[in-house]
Amino acid sequence: MKAFLPRIDIALAQIRENARLLSELYGQRGISIMGVSKAVLGEPAVIEAMIQGGVRFIADSRLENIQKMKAAGLITQFVLLRTPLSQAEAVVQSVDISLNTEIATLQKLSYYAKAHHKQHQVIVMVELGDLREGVLPCDLAPFIRETLSLPHLKLVGLGCNLACYGGIKPDDRNMHALSILVNRIETEFQLSLAIISGGNSANYEWYQSARAIGRINNLRLGESILLGRETVSRKAIPGLHTHAFQLIAEVIESKQKPSLPFGTSGQDAFGNVPSFQDRGVRQRAILALGRQDVLVSGLNAHSKLEILGSSSDHLILDSQQHPLRVGDEVNFDLDYGALLAAMTSPFIHKQLIKEHRQTAPLSLK
Ligand SMILES: *Cc1c(COP(=O)(O)O)cnc(C)c1O
């Protein structure tokens, strides 16, 4: 029986090992890990592998993913990464901790926490330069004062997020700034904060080079668990698996064709006027995979296959160096953007496997 195509094979053992190695590495200096589930849409088997690997929390930016994981029976502390608003009532019902930056939202969370006889835990995010979410340091003390006045919330920590929008690297300076703010808030308000969440997969280089990590005791890791990479320069982290996800698609046409289109030129399917180089007649293959499934620029194929282009549902390869027949399967590595899109595509089957075969017929280098 042939497996469904296109599909993503997800090697659970490799994800479990990545989670374990990262939990041990960061645990050596007292940093706990939130495993971030959004890139796999909270796929329960993948998240279970993260939990088995030792992550202490599961964090997602979408409430729906958290609800799915809970419905599947996963038991851990669930964290909502994106500050909620209209979903506040459902958030206090399904989520243990949420990240927040707006008083209006905290008021709603407190209101619904009261209605449901709950106490909702919050981490306040601080803006340290990346210009995505966060309260500016100069506004932090009054913000914390208001947060503490809301009776059904419990302030459990401070956090920051870097290297997402502005491309600002976590370094000794901004991590030290977060530690100083933690100390100030604790002194001013006579409290102790349990979770100081210093960032994401981009924090690896800082952690490896930092002499002192200050008050940082938590990181939220998605890409480094799933793809084995840090995200400042996308280097592989030593010892981690970087091929846990493989995208596999089938060849639906294989022919010798000229490399220059013929006829009168106009726009392509996406409104661009493409240009081509004449390389003579070449062996080409078409795969049943397209931009409606994946971010094609984030795919990495066999070294002898070249991706020439794609439309909504066809991917065109130059296969001159590596002949392909109709019905052959082609494997790809995915970067984070390609993984995110492929996991979200309803057309791509997600197949959970233990480990990848060592020698797939068209496996990677
Ligand atoms: C997505 C997300 C993360 C995880 O980022 P990775 O680069 O995948 O580790 C961490 N924190 C927040 C707030 C996020 O939205």
Please give the Cα distance from 9 to 2 (Å, whole number): 14
- Rounded to an integer, the average pLDDT of 200-229 is 98
Which amino acid belongs to residue 231? T
Verify whether ligand 1 is closer than 6 Å to residue 38 (CB atom).
yes
CB neighbours (10 Å) of residue 327? 11
- CATH classification (class only), 31-227: alpha beta
The average confidence (pLDDT) of the chain is: 95
**Residue for token digits 């984070």?**
336
Kindly list the catalytic residues.
38
Q: Which residues pair with 35 in a beta bridge?
A: 58, 221
pLDDT at position 8: 97
181 pLDDT tier (thresholds 50, 70, 90): very high
Tokens, residue 318 = 């130059």
How does strand 245-258 pair with strand 329-334? antiparallel
pLDDT at position 62: 98
CB 322 within 8 A of CB 302: yes
CB 69 within 8 A of CB 37: yes
Verify whether ligand 1 is closer than 6 Å to residue 218 (CB atom).
no
CB neighbours (10 Å) of residue 211? 5
Please give the Cα distance from 62 to 75 (Å, whole number): 17
CB 19 within 8 A of CB 354: no
Instruction: Report how far Cα 341 is from the mean position of its chain's Cα atoms.
Output: 11
Residue 154 has pLDDT above 70, yes or no: yes
Mutate to test the pocket of ligand 1, among 46, 57, 66, 81 (most ligand atoms within 8 A of CB): 81
Domains 1-11+243-259+278-360 and 31-227 belong to one CATH topology: no
Please give the Cα distance from 340 to 10 (Å, whole number): 13
Distances (CA, A) of 97 to 34, 92, 155, 186, 235: 12, 9, 9, 19, 31
In tens, the pLDDT along 230-256 reads: 999 999 999 999 999 999 999 999 999
2 pLDDT tier (thresholds 50, 70, 90): low
Q: Which residues pair with 220 in a beta bridge?
A: 34
| Ligand 1 atom nearest to 225, measured from its CA | 9
Sketch the domain layout of the chain as residue ranges.
1-11+243-259+278-360, 31-227
Tokens, residue 248 = 């596999």
Please give the Cα distance from 292 to 290 (Å, whole number): 5
CB 34 within 8 A of CB 58: yes
Which CATH number is 1-11+243-259+278-360 given? 2.40.37.20
| Statement: the pTM of the whole predicted model exceeds 0.75 | yes
Verify whether ligand 1 is closer than 6 Å to residue 40 (CB atom).
no
Q: Could you tell me which of 75, 18, 10, 42 has the C-alpha nearest to residue 354?
A: 10
Verify whether ligand 1 is closer than 6 Å to residue 221 (CB atom).
yes
Please give the Cα distance from 192 to 70 (Å, whole number): 30
In tens, the pLDDT along 59-94 reads: 999 999 999 999 999 999 999 999 999 999 999 999
